[in-house]
Structure 1
């Protein structure tokens, strides 16, 4: 999972070129809201992101297009394989599971980020035990 930081994406592509990468939909929506104001943009994007098949996804995207054409164009430029559940690999757990686990871990480890690496690892080990 990534918040679309260019350095992280480049490093992943270089070190693990066949890995699956996903973007946090929450971060995509935040960037979308900065450029295209509208209270329901997020609602439409979440609906599209969570669709399990192409037909429902296209319906949700049409709703977004009707509501805010500029937001629709913005979302079409974000690669589907990185945010739309209907195109995720079948052998990868659902986006919700992966995203929730990642968000929980990031929330917990955040207080240790400034510590030396061994302290971070020890605290992670203790938490997992």
Structure 2
């Protein structure tokens, strides 16, 4: 129950920051943006101390650790793969254009007899 109250308080702090943005419409934009940032940071700080907040922090740390384990392709491999994809796209575009023109010729010229001038 305490986590729900903390989470509700965090949402209220974020909402207060957004409300301050609109209530301070006569002041400088920097102050209005700082009010939103302060509300979000305060809400995040309160949410951090809830059980879902701790689980999110643990999940984030695990995600960063997994991302560090990934073997990313080298620049050469990336350029080669990109070249293969572009070549495939060009070949597929030519094939589809040829198929379209063949069907157009067969349907309009041969079957319907609509010769274009």
TM-score (normalised: structure 1):
0.25
Which has the higher Rg, Structure 1 or Structure 2?
2
TM-score (normalised: structure 2):
0.27
* Structure with greater proportional helix content: 2
